[in-house]
């Protein structure tokens, strides 16, 4: 599924968080700026200007880094990577995660959300964080996405239900259950959860990707989608009723479909988004197709959020070999969605 077109007139700046300063975030941010002409919008980093400058020098990237106020970002972006400073305790070392840096990592995320809420940025793009580092500093949220949902909650209202979508030009997938053990999936999977997830997907596909009637394909949980309940009853009792409810609501949903035949090219042409019932069922096909340039898009939030589809990669941080492709794809998609001109091809 291709991204919506970009409108030159509607481009605005993107807020990019530095991520864990000991990971590959600083390096790929610098490399993304070197390929800025392919992004489609100016962006600034929320992080430590000194760290980014040292990284550029150490890796001989030749990127000039400048501290920036929000009103200066577009002008600076032409000649240097603009960085809106977020104070960091100490100097982070590549590949050596340090809980002392956690407050700055959290502050960058909070600031990015605030800026997109006030209209000073059109989208939030997040570099990878390390949850175990944040947990050691008292971070109370299960992960990055849940924190963003909490930050976006209106006063007195519950946090929105965020949905993770992995996207590339050839495929978009959503895992209905995400980071839980496989043995817990059947108990966690309910008709209500499937329906709630699919509603959010359909809404954002209409509102942000410009698809007037998005086609959703729902994978079965069991082999052969349960084969008439002979290999598990979840597809008959949970997924099937969810599809019926969605269709009654006017959502173009099909399933449950056998997952082993859902991702070849001819099958992909029949839907816009595939909803899988567990993490690996969704992520294995897209990482096989687009390992280096898939994008993580969070649906269900009141703002646009994308991120690279990889982690902090502490093992290669500081070695100059981290590839920026997924971050560039995340920035490019955020720019197109943030342009506000998402419409299906005529």
Q: Where are the chain's structural domains?
A: 1-162+298-346, 170-289
pLDDT over 50 (residue 339): yes
**What's the confidence (pLDDT) of residue 217?**
98
Encode 291-321: b = buried (16+ Cβ within 10 Å), e = exposed. Answer: eebbbbbbbbbebbbbbbbbebbbebbbeee
Band (70; pLDDT cuts 50, 70, 90): confident
Q: Which long-range contacts (CB under 8 A, 24 or more apart) does 151-154 make?
A: 151/109, 151/110, 151/113, 152/113, 152/117, 152/301, 152/302, 152/303
Band (142; pLDDT cuts 50, 70, 90): confident
Domain 1-162+298-346 and domain 170-289, same fold? Reply is yes
Q: Pick the residue with more confidence: 238 or 292? A: 238
Q: Tens digit of pLDDT for each residue in 160-210?
A: 899 999 999 999 999 999 989 999 999 999 999 999 999 999 999 999 999
**What's the confidence (pLDDT) of residue 3?**
56
pLDDT over 80 (residue 8): no
**What's the confidence (pLDDT) of residue 7?**
41
Band (343; pLDDT cuts 50, 70, 90): very low
pLDDT over 50 (residue 48): yes
**What's the confidence (pLDDT) of residue 345?**
28
Choose among 329, 304, 330: nearest CA to 208. Answer: 304
Q: Say which DSSP state 96 is in.
A: B
> Average pLDDT for residues 291-320, to the nearest whole number?
93
Q: Tens digit of pLDDT for each residue in 105-130?
A: 999 999 999 999 999 999 999 999 99
Question: What integer best gives the mean pLDDT of the chain?
Answer: 90
209 CB contacts (<8 Å, ≥6 apart)? 1, 3, 4, 337, 342
- The number of residues making up the chain comes to 346
Task: Compute the distance between CA of residue 82 and CA of residue 69 in angstroms, rounded to an integer.
Answer: 9
pLDDT over 80 (residue 346): no
pLDDT over 60 (residue 2): no
**What's the confidence (pLDDT) of residue 6?**
43
Look up the CATH number of domain 170-289: 3.40.718.10
The token pair at 130 is 């390390």
Look up the CATH number of domain 1-162+298-346: 3.40.718.10
pTM comes to 0.89
* Percent of the chain predicted with pLDDT > 90: 76
Q: Tens digit of pLDDT for each residue in 72-97?
A: 999 999 999 999 999 776 678 899 98
């Amino acid at each position: 599924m291709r991204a919506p077109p970009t409108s030159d007139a509607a481009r605005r700046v993107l807020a990019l968080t530095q991520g864990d300063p000991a990971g590959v975030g600083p390096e790929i941010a610098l490399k993304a700026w070197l390929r800025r002409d392919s992004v489609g919008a100016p962006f600034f980093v929320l992080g430590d200007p000194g760290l980014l400058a040292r990284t550029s020098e150490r890796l001989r990237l030749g990127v000039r880094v400048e501290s920036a106020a929000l009103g200066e970002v577009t002008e600076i972006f032409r000649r240097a990577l603009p960085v809106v400073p977020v104070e960091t305790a100490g100097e982070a070392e590549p590949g050596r995660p340090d809980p002392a840096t956690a407050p700055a990592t959290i502050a960058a995320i909070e600031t990015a959300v605030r800026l997109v809420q006030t209209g000073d940025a059109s989208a939030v793009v997040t570099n990878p964080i390390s949850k175990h580092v944040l947990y050691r500093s008292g971070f109370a949220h299960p992960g990055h996405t849940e924190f963003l949902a909490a930050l976006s909650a209106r006063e007195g209202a519950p946090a929105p239900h965020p949905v993770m979508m992995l996207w590339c030009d050839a495929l978009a997938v959503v895992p209905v259950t995400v980071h839980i053990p496989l043995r817990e999936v059947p108990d966690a999977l309910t008709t209500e959860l499937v329906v709630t997830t699919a509603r959010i997907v359909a809404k954002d596909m209409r509102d942000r990707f410009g698809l007037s009637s998005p086609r959703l394909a729902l994978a079965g949980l069991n082999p052969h989608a349960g084969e008439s309940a002979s290999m598990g009853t979840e597809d008959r009792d949970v997924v099937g009723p969810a599809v019926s409810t969605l269709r009654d609501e006017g959502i173009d949903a099909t399933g449950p479909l056998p997952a082993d035949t859902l991702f070849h090219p001819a099958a992909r042409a029949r839907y816009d988004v595939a909803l899988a019932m567990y993490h690996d069922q969704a992520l294995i096909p897209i990482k096989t197709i687009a390992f280096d340039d898939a994008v993580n898009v969070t649906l269900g939030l009141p703002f646009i959020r994308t991120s690279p589809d990889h982690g902090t990669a502490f093992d290669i941080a500081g070695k100059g070999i981290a590839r920026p492709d997924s971050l560039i794809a995340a920035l490019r998609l955020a720019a197109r969605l943030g342009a506000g001109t998402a419409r299906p091809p005529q």
